[in-house]
Amino acid sequence: MGFNLGILISGRGSNMLNIVNASQSGIINSKVKIVISNKINSQGIKKAKKKNIKTKIINQSLYKTKTNFEKVLNNSLIDENVNFICLAGFMSILSPYFLNLWSNKIINIHPSLLPDFKGKNAVKQALEKKVKTAGCTVHFVDEGVDTGKIIDQEKVTISNNDDEEMLAKKILKKEHVLYIKVLKELERKLL
């Protein structure tokens, strides 16, 4: 048994594609029911379509309030029988209204060893602080920005010559491994 996943994205969608691949090749039991982008120019939507995954663009900028947007988002997920949500580069803070509807059923991936370097530019923040180890975290989503309960993390050693792009690339590789590891763990624990 696996989850019926809804994946929310805003851009590139490499984590989304990685989850789709893991699902389609049977590495995880969960099925990706729909990929939704809140931005119109998301590269990830094209990638999901190529994999024959149902996609939807809900252009958040057209909605007067976040709740209006989230009502449409919620209905789109319910329509596809989604029962668990993965955020993967989704650039919108979900409101308490939406979080209450999906309590403990939303996870996110962030490119830092939380609780360090929350929010945007996490990789840049790590380099500026001159820490020796960076990494990524999968966590449950709560009302804060990258503050929810940590599920698992992967570390990445920072080399002296790493710039932001190089380090982000190294972290992204680990993100792809970590997200699948966590989904497998949650399939075992929650189902």
Q: Which positions are catalytic?
A: 110
HSE-up (13 A, CA, CB side) for residue 168: 10
Close Cβ partners of 77 (under 8 Å, ≥ 6 residues apart): 6, 34, 36, 85
CB of 13 to ligand GRF, least distance (A): 5
Other Cβ atoms within 10 Å of 1 Cβ, number: 6
User: Interface residues with ligand GRF (CB under 6 A)?
Assistant: 9, 11-16, 44, 88-89, 109-111, 172, 175
CB of 34 to ligand GRF, least distance (A): 16
Nearer to ligand GRF, 71 or 102 (CB): 102
H-helix segments, 121-163: 122-128
Pairing of strands 84-87, 55-57: unpaired
Nearer to ligand GRF, 84 or 179 (CB): 179
CB of 54 to ligand GRF, least distance (A): 18
Nearer to ligand GRF, 82 or 141 (CB): 141
